[in-house]
Amino acid sequence: MKKTIQNYIISMLSCITFFGVLACSADKETPQNTTINSLAVNKTSIEANNTETTTDIIINTDVTAWLMNSDNASWIKFSQAGGTAGSTTVKITVLENTGVARTGKITLTSGQAEPVEIAISQKAAPVETGFPSYNKNPLPADASGMGSTAVQLAAKIKLGWNIGNTMEATGGETAWGNPKITKQLIDLVKANGFNAIRIPCSWNQYLANAKTAELKAEWLNRVKEVVQYCVDNDMYVLVNIHWDGGWLENNVTEAKKDENNMKQKAFWEQIATTLRGFDEHVLFASANEPNVENATQMAVLNSYHQTFIDAVRSTGGKNAYRVLVVQGPSTDIEKTNKLMLTLPTDKVANRMMAEVHFYTPYQFCLMDKDADWGKMFYYWGSSFHSTTDASRNATWGEEADVDKLFKSMKTQFVDKGIPVLLGEFGAIRRTTLTGADLTLHLASRAYFLKYVVKQATANGILPFYWDAGNTGNNGSAIFDRSNNTVFDTQALNAMKEGLQ
């Protein structure tokens, strides 16, 4: 038997609670009537900020009873879920939004009138506007031990070596198969003709607090310890932010520009402060191989470099005069020649270097399997081509190309007082070869290393060999880090000969 209208209203009102259930239980039917009545609200839309917002709406109706429900009950609440004829004020509360912008709706229904909808929209949570400053104790500028300009410092750097696949390794210093860096290893490197070391470093995986970009003190101190090994050997040392998970490298874009500049500033304030006491033997590098393909991205990269320079300088002390290194687009020589037409501004004159890398031709230096567009090269150099394995001879990127590329960096930077650091170069060993093929390959590889060092030096470019250490098949290792011995005497001697 159908309930009377009076009993229905009493039953329906018993369901209403403040911020409570949005509708009565399923057995309570909306009253039906063949007469069309009016059901009106004073607002058909509500636009809310990301904070909790309450809005009054006024419902005017001559229906016997009406109900209210929402399609997003988790964040849209109202003070009552139904009412009767007359004028009723209902408070609509939109809860705080900590995520992206969102929309929803409220619907008023009655069997005696057409339903009415109220559209709800809410703004997204604000984007973090910045991290706290880590330049908490800036010092007065200190020129002691910092007397060399970039050009004068470049003249002191002869041959550099990368501690590859170690302090930038995802998962920790030993995660990619190399032992922890020891003073004995650095002593070995120095004793074998290198007077500079590049330390690729990751930082993002060593966050103490991701919300504030605070780095772990123990990691900052570990990097400082390794830097000290180098300085104790009277070696020049370059500290960078390497690939680091790609947060900067893979996001040289307008969309990420502001966010990345905030992190760049926070990281370099902490790194620079930790290493501030070292003299001119220590150089800082803004990034590693930032992916840049066009002028728009180049402008973003320059903003990252500008943030780096400003952050380091702001910490004062010896950092006020430290030589700083900025990377070309993808550290590719041709892209750098085309796109890096301006440099960031430094308030200290003559303390900047540019950085590029060199793995040309790729098919000889790094390619480890054939592709449909080309084969691996095993033999490089006009005097080192194979007559029995001719399909593996280099067909481009040989002596003339090296000469041309290095000369372009000399013209673009070196001749204008900006030294160029060849932060990485090298060529892997093809250990699957045997017999005469292996002998010819290793000889051509040694010639490549010698030629690169010789031509880099001739053009005022500072060569740093990439050594991945005890990983894989020792494809690039000069030193065996497990026992601190020379692993590849042929390659080592070739690079030394290139300096002569």
Q: Is residue 450 in some structural domain? A: yes
Rounded Cα–Cα distance for residues 175 and 166 (Å)? 8
Domain identity same for 85 and 156: no
Q: Active-site residue among 168, 289, 355, 398?
A: 289
Across 442-465, average pLDDT: 98
Q: Is residue 160 in some structural domain? A: yes
Output the domain CATH number for residue 284. 3.20.20.80
Domain identity same for 306 and 414: yes
Residue 173: active-site member: no
Query: What confidence score (pLDDT) does residue 52 get?
Result: 83
Under the banding of pLDDT at 50, 70 and 90, the label for residue 472 is low
Domain identity same for 186 and 66: no
Under the banding of pLDDT at 50, 70 and 90, the label for residue 8 is very low
Q: Is residue 108 in some structural domain? A: yes
Query: What confidence score (pLDDT) does residue 15 get?
Result: 38
Number of domains in the chain: 2
Name residues whose C-beta falls within 8 Å of residue 254's C-beta, 6 or more positions apart in sequence: 296, 300
Domain identity same for 66 and 173: no
Query: What 8-state DSSP symbol labels residue 192?
Result: T
Say what percent of the chain tops pLDDT 70. 91
Instruction: Identify the H or E element spanning 185.
Output: helix 183-191
Instruction: Name which of 69, 5, 60 is nearest 31 in CA terms.
Output: 5
Average pLDDT score over the chain: 91
Which tens digits make up the pLDDT trace of 306-316?
999 999 999 99
Rounded Cα–Cα distance for residues 293 and 298 (Å)? 8
Q: Active-site residue among 168, 280, 398, 424?
A: 424
Query: What confidence score (pLDDT) does residue 71 get?
Result: 83
CB atoms within 10 A of CB 201: 24
Which tens digits make up the pLDDT trace of 150-175?
999 999 999 999 999 999 999 999 99
Residue 424: active-site member: yes
Q: Is residue 157 in some structural domain? A: yes
Rounded to 10 degrees, the C-alpha dihedral 472/476/478/481 comes to: -30
Domain identity same for 106 and 180: no
Output the domain CATH number for residue 37. 2.60.40.10
Query: What 8-state DSSP symbol labels residue 454?
Result: H
Domain residues for the domain of 396 are 150-498
Under the banding of pLDDT at 50, 70 and 90, the label for residue 100 is confident
Q: Is residue 139 in some structural domain? A: no
Rounded Cα–Cα distance for residues 237 and 157 (Å)? 10
Q: In the predicted model, is pLDDT for residue 358 greater than 70?
A: yes
Q: Is residue 140 in some structural domain? A: no
Rounded Cα–Cα distance for residues 303 and 215 (Å)? 22
Domain identity same for 154 and 289: yes
Name residues whose C-beta falls within 8 Å of residue 151's C-beta, 6 or more positions apart in sequence: 350, 417, 419
